[in-house]
């Protein structure tokens, strides 16, 4: 498969994937911005905005679970590269730096979510 087949372009507010959907791919932002958000009807709560070089969707590619949030293009001409499960496994097995990068990002995201949850629990 050529690399061009793994690249998709999105316009502002285009949904890349929806919370609850299944998927065995992660995405790397090549250009533009992507919002990771929780949707509640028409209401949107942005969890994080990602830019060039950052990735998302890794939890589903690792454990096969449904998407935990919605990914939405937040800039014109947002380009992302899809990395399917087989390619992900290859990269993790052959590139230790890639595996460490994924683990580092997951660790930081988990710590951030725990901090937010801790603050929310303390304010009640």
Q: Which domains does the chain have, with CATH numbers?
A: 3-122 (2.60.120.10)
Give the distance from CA 76 to its chain's centroid.
18
**Residues 56, 49 contacting (CB under 8 angstroms):** no
pLDDT in tens, 92-101: 999 999 999 9
Which pTM value belongs to this model? 0.83
Sorting pLDDT into bands at 50, 70 and 90, what band is 123?
Answer: low
* CA triple 14-1-8, angle to 5 deg: 10
Query: The tokens of 79 are what?
Result: 């380009």
- CB neighbours of residue 20 within 10 Å: 11
Sorting pLDDT into bands at 50, 70 and 90, what band is 116?
Answer: low
**Residues 78, 33 contacting (CB under 8 angstroms):** yes
Give the distance from CA 115 to its chain's centroid.
20
Burial category of 41 from C-beta neighbours within 10 Å (exposed 0-12, middle 13-18, buried 19 and up): exposed
Residue 100, helix vs strand vs coil: helix
């Amino acid at each position: 498969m050529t690399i061009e087949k793994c690249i998709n372009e999105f316009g502002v507010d285009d949904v890349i994937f929806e919370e609850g959907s299944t998927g065995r791919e992660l995405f790397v932002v090549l250009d533009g911005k992507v919002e990771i958000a929780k949707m509640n009807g028409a209401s949107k709560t942005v969890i994080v905005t990602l830019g060039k070089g950052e990735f998302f969707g890794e939890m589903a590619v690792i454990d096969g679970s449904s998407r935990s949030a919605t990914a939405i293009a937040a800039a014109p001409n947002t380009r992302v590269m899809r990395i399917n499960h087989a390619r992900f496994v290859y990269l993790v097995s052959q590139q230790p730096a890639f595996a460490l990068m994924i683990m580092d990002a997951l660790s930081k995201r988990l710590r951030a979510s725990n901090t937010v949850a801790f603050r929310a629990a303390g304010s009640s």
